[in-house]
A and B are shown apart, each in its own frame.
Chain A
Amino acid sequence: MIRQAVIKNIRNVCRQLLIVISILEGASLIAVLIKSIGFPVINAAVVYVLSVLLVARFTRGYIYGILASVLCMANYNFFFTQPYYTFIVYDKSDIITISVMLIASILTSTLTSKLLHASKLAEDRESQTNMLYQITSSLAKASGVSDVAAVSVQCLSNLLDTDVLCIMSADQNSSRSLFQARRGDRRIQISEVNNVQIEEYSSEKKVIPIGDASNQYGVICIPVTTSQESREREKLVPAIIMQIQSAMDREKFSEEKKIVKIEMEHEKFRGNLLRAISHDLRTPLAGISGTAEVLMSNLKNEEDRDLAEGIFEETNWLTQMVENILSLTKIEDGRLVLRKQPEAIEEIVGEAVKHARKIAGQRKIISDIPEDVLLVSMDGKLILQVLINLIDNAVKHTQSDGIVQIKVYTDKNRVWFSITDNGSGIKAGDMPYLFDSFFVAQEAKGSSRSGIGLGLSIVRAIVQAHGGRVFAENDKRGGAIFRFYLPVKELDGNE
Chain B
Amino acid sequence: MENKQTVLIVEDETGISGFIKAILTANEYDVLITDKGKTGISMAASHCPDIILLDMGLPDIDGMEVLTNIRQWSQIPIIIVSARGHEREKVEALDAGADDYLTKPFGTAELLVRIRTALRHSHDALQSKGMPDGKFRVGTLEINYEKRMVHVDGIEIHLTPIEYKILVLLSRSAGKVLTHDYIMKEIWGPFEKDNQALRVNMANIRRKIEHNPAQPKYILTEVAVGYRMVEEI
Point out residues on A near B: beta carbons under 8 Å: 282-291, 293-294, 297-298, 315-316, 319, 323, 326-327, 339, 341-344, 346-351, 353-354, 367, 369, 373, 375, 379-381, 384, 492, 494-495
Measured between beta carbons, the chain B residues less than 8 angstroms from A341 are 195, 224
Q: Is B213 an interface residue (CB 8 A)?
A: yes
A290-B106, A350-B216 known; A380-B223 Cβ under 8 A:
yes
Which chain A residue has the least Cβ–Cβ distance from B107? A293
List A contacts of B197 (CB < 8 A).
495
Q: Are B23 and A294 within 8 A (Cβ)? A: yes
Q: From B10-18, B123-131, B143-151, give the one contacting chain A.
A: B10-18
- Are B214 and A346 within 8 A (Cβ)? yes
Using a Cβ–Cβ cut-off of 8 Å, how many residues does chain B contribute to the interface with A?
A: 37
Decide if B215 touches A344 in the complex (CB within 8 Å): no
Query: Any chain A CB within 8 A of the CB of B74?
Result: no
Q: Does B196 contact A (CB under 8 A)?
A: yes
Binding site for A on B (CB under 8 A): 13-16, 18-20, 22-23, 26, 83-85, 87-88, 104-108, 194-197, 199-200, 202-204, 206, 213-216, 221, 223-224
| CA–CA, A182 and B44, complex, Å | 91
Majority secondary structure of chain A interface residues (helix, strand, loop or mixed) = helix
8 Å CB contact of A375 from B20, B199, B214 = B199
Cβ of A287: which chain B residues have Cβ within 8 Å of it?
Answer: 13-16, 18-19
Given contacts A290-B106, A367-B214, contact A381 B85 (CB under 8 A): yes
A417 to chain B, nearest CB (A): 14
User: A282-B83, A347-B221, A353-B215 are known contacts. Are A290 and B200 too (CB-CB below 8 A)?
Assistant: no
Closest residue of A by beta carbon distance from B105: A286
Q: A289-B105, A341-B195 given as contacts; is B221 within 8 A of A350 (CB)?
A: yes
Tell me the complex Cα distance, A284–B26, Å.
22
Besides A286-B13, A298-B26, A353-B214, 9 more A-B contacts (Cβ < 8 Å) are A290-B19, A290-B23, A316-B105, A344-B200, A346-B213, A347-B203, A350-B221, A351-B221, A373-B204
Q: Separation in Å of the A280 CB from the closest CB of chain B?
A: 11
Does A349 lie within 8 Å of B214, measured CB to CB?
yes
Q: Which residues of A contact B195 (CB under 8 A)?
A: 341-342
Measured in the bound complex, the distance between the Cα atoms of B196 and A319 in whole Å is 34
When distances are taken between beta carbons in the complex, the residues of chain B under 8 Å from A323 are 84-85
**Complex-state Cα separation, A495 to B105, whole angstroms:** 38
Kindly identify which residue among A319, A326, A346, A350 contacts B105, using a CB–CB cutoff of 8 Å: A319
Q: How far is the CB of B47 from chain A (nearest CB, A)?
A: 24
The docked-state distance in angstroms from the alpha carbon of A290 to that of B13 is 12
For B222, the closest partner residue in chain A by CB is A351
Which A residues touch B85, using CB under 8 A?
A: 323, 326-327, 381
User: Is B223 a contact partner of A347 (Cβ separation < 8 A)?
Assistant: yes
**Complex CA distance for A368 and B51, rounded to whole angstroms:** 43
Residue ID in chain A nearest B197 by CB atoms: A495
Q: Which B residue's beta carbon lies closest to that of A288?
A: B15
Contact B199 A373 (CB under 8 A): yes
Give the chain A neighbours of B215 by CB distance below 8 A.
Answer: 350, 353-354
- When distances are taken between beta carbons in the complex, the residues of chain B under 8 Å from A495 are 196-197, 200
Cα distance A405–B60 in the bound complex, in angstroms: 48
A-B contacts, 7 listed (Cβ < 8 Å): A283-B13, A286-B15, A290-B23, A291-B15, A341-B224, A342-B194, A353-B214
* Residues in A neighbouring B202, C-beta threshold 8 A: 344, 347
User: Which residues on the A side are within 8 Å of B199 (C-beta)?
Assistant: 342-344, 347, 373, 375
Chain A: CB-nearest residue to B106:
A290
A286 and B223 form a contact (CB under 8 A): no
Which residues does chain B contribute within 8 Å of A315, judged by CB atoms? Answer: 105
Greatest chain B CB density within 10 A among A290, A367, A380 is at A290
Question: What is the CB-to-nearest-CB distance from A190 to chain B, in angstroms, rounded to a whole number?
Answer: 58
A79 to B13: give the CA distance in the assembly, Å: 126
CA distance A349 to B206 in the complex (A): 14
Expressed in whole angstroms, the Cα–Cα distance for A290 and B18 within the complex equals 9
A283-B13, A373-B199 as given contacts; A294 in contact with B224, CB under 8 Å = no
Check if B16 sits within 8 Å of A283, measured CB to CB. Answer: yes
Q: How many Å from the CB of A464 to the closest CB on chain B?
A: 19
Nearest CB of chain B from residue A383's CB, rounded to whole Å:
9
Docked pose: A343 CA to B26 CA in angstroms? 40
B22 touches A381 (CB 8 A): no
**Is A291 in contact with B216, judged by CB distance below 8 angstroms?**
no
Contact A283 B204 (CB under 8 A): no
Residues of B within 8 A of A373 (CB): 199-200, 203-204
CA distance A344 to B207 in the complex (A): 13
Specify which of B87, B104, B223 is in contact with A351 (CB 8 Å cutoff).
B223
- Smallest CB gap from A293: residue in B: B108
Cβ contact of B224, chosen from A327, A339, A349, cutoff 8 A:
A339
